[in-house]
Copies of this chain bind each other. A is one copy, B any other.
Amino acid sequence: MIPENIQRFIQAFSRLPSIGPRQATRLAFKLIAGGPARVAALSQALAGLAQVKTCARCFFVHTNAGATCSLCTDTHRASDIFMILEKETDLISIERTGKYAGRYLVLGELTKSGVLEDIHKLRLAVLKKNIEELPTQKAREIIVALNPSTYGDLHTSLITKKLSSYAEHITRLGRGIPTGGEIEFADEDTLGHSLERRI
């Protein structure tokens, strides 16, 4: 009863993260209602992602001719300060603050297994190599910017241990009450941090 083209769409798209079969089905009918021109435009926008490459140094995305992204080749950025992040979207959020001008390492999504997987170890090895190529052979600072959760903290200490000899300082993001947050609803840990690190 459901045309094969729609079934194929549902099958392909319901395998994507955060899109289930129900959303994919609804999406299919919305797209069809939008007309073939809009469908073609979306299909092209999607196909364009195939051209996106991953930076060989920091593993962020880019479409440069070479192997590295513009963040890694920008001479206005400090080349001996590194921030380790879990996801590309975390990097985008940090860039939006306009308050960081060093290099990055996108580690890849961490699981709740509490151990670093092969992909993370490989990327950390690339970071070590990049640091060894510095004139000082040591980073001025490495900021381990993982989510402040139980697992994030666990991974942070794992990474800190691995990199201890590669940086003068290894830091984390500051903790406290978020702007717009309410003291009444802040958890004890957050409130404790905001007291210890009061400004």
A48–B13 alpha-carbon span in the complex (Å): 13
Interface residues of A in 1-56 (CB under 8 A from B): 1-6, 8-9, 11-13, 16-19, 23, 25-32, 36, 39-52, 54
Q: Is A154 in contact with chain B by the CB < 8 A criterion?
A: no
Asked whether, in the complex, the Cβ of B42 is within 8 Å of the Cβ of A46, the reply is yes
Q: Is A62 in contact with chain B by the CB < 8 A criterion?
A: yes
Q: Is A141 in contact with chain B by the CB < 8 A criterion?
A: no
User: Copy number in this complex?
Assistant: 2
A4 proximity list for chain B (CB < 8 A)? 63
Asked whether, in the complex, the Cβ of A8 is within 8 Å of the Cβ of B52, the reply is no
Q: How many residues on chain A are close to B (CB under 8 Å)?
A: 50
Chain B residue nearest to A2 in the complex (CB): B92
Given contacts A1-B92, A92-B1, contact A42 B13 (CB under 8 A): yes
Given contacts A3-B63, A61-B32, contact A46 B46 (CB under 8 A): yes
Asked whether, in the complex, the Cβ of B70 is within 8 Å of the Cβ of A1, the reply is yes
A25–B18 alpha-carbon span in the complex (Å): 12
Q: Is A88 in contact with chain B by the CB < 8 A criterion?
A: yes
Asked whether, in the complex, the Cβ of B52 is within 8 Å of the Cβ of A3, the reply is yes
Asked whether, in the complex, the Cβ of B42 is within 8 Å of the Cβ of A12, the reply is yes
